[in-house]
Structures are given as structure tokens and as C-alpha cells.
Amino acid sequence: MPPITPATAWVYAAALVAAGAYVLHLGIRAWREERSLTDTPTGRIRSAAQGYARLQGRPEGGERGSLRAPLTGLPCSWWRYRIEERRSTGRSRSWVAVQSATCETPFLLDDGTGRCLIDPRGAEVHARAKDVWYGPDAWPQVRIPGGSGILGRIADTLITDRYRYVEQRLVSGEPLLVLGEFRTVGGVQPLELDDEVAALLHDWKTDQATLLARFDRDGDGRLSMAEWDQARGAARQQVLAERSARPPPPAIATLADPGDGRPFVIAAIGERRLEVDYRIRALAGAAGFVAAAAAAAWTLAHR
């Protein structure tokens, strides 16, 4: 190996520092997520305060009914999949993602006190259900799960199929923990008052005889400006009366991405395991930064 020149050493050191800074960033993010998880008490959908909240319940099918995961066809509340192709470079082989997608369809969470619509867009999702299998086609024709643990790694070395399929799912009815921005929306009339009045007047105009009989005071066969104002006032009073007689639409509880950098988490793996996972990632980030900084210092010292 040729000696490291001063210029090359600085390049290597800068690359190591950049990599260490990125790893540290991931570690700090994991630490913030762990703090948010432990510092935010679990609320109930019926009585949860508006704002950042943690809920626990069981998911139902998607907003339009039970979803089906794209690769396996299994019912679920949410899915994510990835298709990888085995590629060779010299003697080395690696899996390269060629297709992936993540479900963005909202689903309902039920905690026994109420139901909340979960918008999964932007969430860090920890799914328990995961299948990994292999095949010769760019899209799986047969579902043959192989596992994602030790068996999956053994399969990587034994199976010669060109493609690997990975699918994760949230299963309807399994315990779920969610952390995000909680809002309750409801009680809004479907149309503005003026729009409803205009729609009612339009209906009245289709029956000119009845309209004239009600509001043509001078009997000249047409409505003057004053008479039309009276018709408009009567329509407005009727709309207000109908509004007061019908109940407002039910309130809808929603939970979504806070949008301000705070964690948005959907997890089916259990609170304790999630906390441990965050702590390991935080420690790994700190250790990675220290290792990268030490390597950069060694590189500069031996340039």
C-alpha cells in the first residue's frame, strides 16, 4: 500500500468526520425519539388533549375497508414492500432494491374508548409481521416465506433465485402504539350558509307558480327587487331552521405527523422493545462518532 500523502490524509479525515457526524445525527435522533416515547403519557382517544400525544389500541382495516398487502395478498391495516435484485460485481454479490412502496392509506385505531384515524404518511413504522422470500420473477408469482432472521441469512447463501421480496405489515387487531399530533375535527356544516340559501332558491325557481304565489305581492306576474329580497330572507330563515333541527356531523379524531421535527412513530413491537431499540441506536451513534473521530486523528497523525 503506497504511503498516505498529506493531501490524501486530509481527504480521508474529512470523509471520516462527515461519516461520524452523520452517525452521530442518527444517534441523537434515536435518543430524542426514546425521550419522546418515555416522557409522553399514554392518553385515551375519548379524552386525549389536543396536541402531541401517545395512544395505544388496535388497528382496523384501511379507511375504505380491509387492505391487502401487494406482494402476499394478506389482509392488513398498513404495508410496506421492497423487491431486490441479486447483482454480481466480480466475485462479490449484493442485493439492490429495484422497486419499493409504502402504504399511505389512513386506518382506524380503536382503544376501547373511541376511534382515531391514523394518517401513516411520514411515520417511522415498526411492524411485527414481516415476510422474506425469493423467486425468479421481478414480481412474485408464488409466496414462499423464508424468514428475516438466521434462516433468511442462510437462504441468502443457498438460494440462487434472482429476486428477493420483503414485505412488512400491520395486522388488524394487533396491539399498536402511536406517537404523533392528535387533533379532533368535526361539527362543521357541509356547506356555507350562503351556498345552502342559493341552492334552496334554485329549487324554488323550478316551481315558478308556487314562488309567485308566495312572494308576488302586487300580482304583476314577476318578482320585484323588494319581493326577491323577501324570498331570499325566507330561504335564509328556512335554512337556519333546518340547520338547528339536524345534529352536526360527528367529531373525527386524527393523529398524524407533527410536522415540526418531533417523532411520529407507529409501532407494533411493544413499548419495551422499542425503548431498547432506540437506546441501542443512540449508543451506536455515539460510538460510531467516537470511532470515526479517532480514525480521522490517526490518519492525520500518520500522513
The answer to whether 128 touches 274, Cβ cutoff 8 Å, is no
Q: What is the average pLDDT across 288-299?
A: 78
Rounded Cα–Cα distance for residues 47 and 180 (Å) = 16
Q: What is the mean pLDDT of residues 251-256?
A: 89
pLDDT in tens, 133-149: 998 898 998 766 655 55
> Residues 222-227: what's their mean pLDDT?
86
Bigger pLDDT: 37 vs 294: 294
Q: What sections of the chain are H helices per DSSP?
A: 6-39, 150-158, 193-205, 208-215, 225-245, 271-301
Provide the percentage of residues in the chain whose pLDDT is more than 70. 85
CA distance 293 to 260: 31
Cβ pair 104, 256 in contact under 8 A: no
Q: Are 277 and 270 in contact (CB under 8 A)?
A: no
Q: What is the CA radius of gyration of the chain?
A: 31
Mean pLDDT calculated for residue range 201-211: 86
The confidence score (pLDDT) of residue 154 equals 55
Question: Of 269, 97, 266, which Cα lies nearest the Cα of 166?
Answer: 97
Structure-block grid coordinates of residue 53: 400525544
Query: Could you tell me if 257 and 123 are in contact, meaning their C-beta atoms sit under 8 angstroms apart?
Result: yes
The larger pLDDT score, comparing residue 207 to residue 166, is at 166
- Under a CB-based contact definition with an 8 Å cutoff, are residues 161 and 85 in contact? no
34-76: pLDDT as tens digits:
777 677 788 899 888 899 999 999 998 654 556 889 999 899 9
What phi, psi does 73 have (nearest 5°)?
75, 10
288 confidence band (pLDDT: 50, 70, 90)? confident
Q: Does residue 266 surpass a pLDDT of 60?
A: yes
Across 125-139, 227-241, 259-273, least confident range = 259-273
Banded pLDDT at 271 (limits 50, 70, 90): confident
pLDDT, mean over the chain: 82
Pick from 11, 12, 16, 7: nearest CA to 294: 16
pLDDT of res. 191: 58
* 115 has pLDDT over 80: yes
Lowest mean pLDDT across 179-183, 217-221, 237-241, 275-279: 275-279
